[in-house]
């Protein structure tokens, strides 16, 4: 492989494995570069990003995405479309006359993606399997586009622990249901564990973006589960083999260990971004206090207004960062 050219894949030996980067040979973990730890990519005639309906031959990924500096992901396609429109106003982005924001991945119904200047707003579905598929492809997309110094954000909703509903939690550490800050994957029948690491400086900057708002923004641990019902200790699923006392003891123990909210993607998000050398952060609003109940009964219009809160915090950070780009 040639060492010249921006889009050329470069191979570097790292602990016996080939690591491909979108820059020249560098030390593992060096700031700015997207890490693709897969030697097979360089031998492929075309890399098809199937769930985005994009590819390295069918699309000019560098032209389309080479300027991206921020990737914001959230579960709902509708919410991420709304975030894109919110960014248009917040960033003062001029949409050309007669045009409108377009879902870049409208050829597929798996995910939605919108681009506002250097910002991507992308839906990821619900749970680790869905966000994992999306992250594999968007990390490769950023790599093929030659992007550097990209920050990733997950913005979404969650269940709170001991917090007033509507509180925004900036995640200090993402842990699983056993309190481990790592993701376990079955690869070829063997368990592969990778640390889930969020960027502490990025989290602090986001916390500082709270400015006389009518809602509270705090920092705390986020617990990521593989299930919405039993995995989160709910009593209202189709199955439940524990009693209310056992549920409350578990949730209280989580709270005592610093967990302030519960969702279903953060550990995977932190693990994959860290493995790719990407700075990342998680910002979620709480829709209820799980120490008080299991079901969300707040009116939908109120929930919609609450879901805007993480968007506001992240948009402020992006505006601040764009001043230095």
Domains of the chain: 45-322 (3.40.50.1580)
pLDDT in tens, 168-181: 999 999 999 999 99
Name the DSSP letter for residue 203: H
- Identify the three-state secondary structure at position 285: strand
171 is in an annotated binding site: no
pLDDT at 35: 85
Name 210's Cβ contacts closer than 8 Å, sequence gap at least 6.
168, 217, 313
Element (H, E) at 90: helix 77-90
110 is in an annotated binding site: yes
**Of 242, 49, 61, 34, which is closest to residue 152 (Cα–Cα)?**
34
154 is in an annotated binding site: yes
Q: What is the pTM of this model?
A: 0.91
82 is in an annotated binding site: no
222 is in an annotated binding site: no
pLDDT in tens, 113-149: 999 999 999 999 999 999 999 999 999 999 999 999 9
- Identify the three-state secondary structure at position 143: helix
> What's the mean pLDDT in 304-313?
97
Cβ density class 203-235: b for 16+ within 10 Å, e for less: bebbbebbeeeebebbbbbbbbbeeeebbbbbe
pLDDT at 22: 63
Q: What is the phi-psi region of residue 208: left when phi exceeds 0, alpha when psi lies from -120 to 50, beta otherwise?
A: alpha
Q: Is the pLDDT of residue 154 over 70?
A: yes
pLDDT at 97: 65
234 is in an annotated binding site: yes
The distance of Cα 117 from the centroid of its chain, to the nearest Å, equals 19
232 is in an annotated binding site: yes
């Amino acid at each position: 492989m040639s060492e010249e050219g921006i889009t050329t894949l470069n191979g570097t030996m790292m602990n016996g494995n080939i690591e491909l980067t979108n820059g020249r040979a560098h030390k593992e973990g060096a700031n700015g570069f997207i890490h693709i730890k897969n030697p097979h990519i360089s031998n492929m005639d075309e890399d098809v990003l199937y769930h985005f309906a994009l590819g390295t031959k069918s699309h000019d990924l560098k032209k389309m995405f080479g300027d991206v500096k921020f990737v914001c992901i959230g579960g709902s396609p509708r919410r991420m479309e709304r975030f894109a429109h919110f960014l248009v106003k917040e960033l003062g982005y001029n949409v050309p006359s007669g045009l409108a924001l377009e879902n870049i991945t409208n050829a597929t119904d798996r995910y939605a993606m919108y681009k506002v200047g250097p910002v991507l707003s992308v839906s990821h579905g619900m749970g680790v399997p869905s966000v994992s598929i999306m992250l594999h492809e968007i990390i490769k997309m950023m790599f093929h586009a030659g992007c550097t110094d990209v920050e990733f954000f997950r913005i979404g909703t969650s269940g709170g622990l001991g917090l007033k509903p509507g509180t925004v939690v900036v995640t200090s550490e993402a842990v699983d249901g056993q309190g481990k800050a790592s993701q376990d994957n079955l690869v070829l029948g063997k368990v592969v564990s990778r640390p889930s690491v969020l960027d502490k400086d990025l989290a602090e900057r986001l916390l500082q973006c709270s400015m006389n708002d009518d809602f509270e923004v705090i920092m705390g641990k986020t617990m990521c589960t593989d299930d919405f019902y039993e995995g989160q200790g709910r009593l209202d699923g189709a199955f439940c083999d524990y009693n209310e006392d056992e549920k409350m003891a578990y949730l209280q123990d989580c709270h005592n260990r610093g967990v302030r909210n519960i969702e279903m993607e953060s550990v995977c998000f932190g693990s994959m971004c860290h493995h790719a050398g990407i700075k990342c952060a998680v910002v979620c609003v709480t829709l209820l206090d799980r120490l008080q109940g299991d079901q969300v009964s707040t009116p939908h219009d109120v929930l919609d207004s609450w879901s805007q809160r993480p968007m506001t915090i992240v948009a402020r950070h992006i505006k601040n960062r764009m001043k230095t780009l």
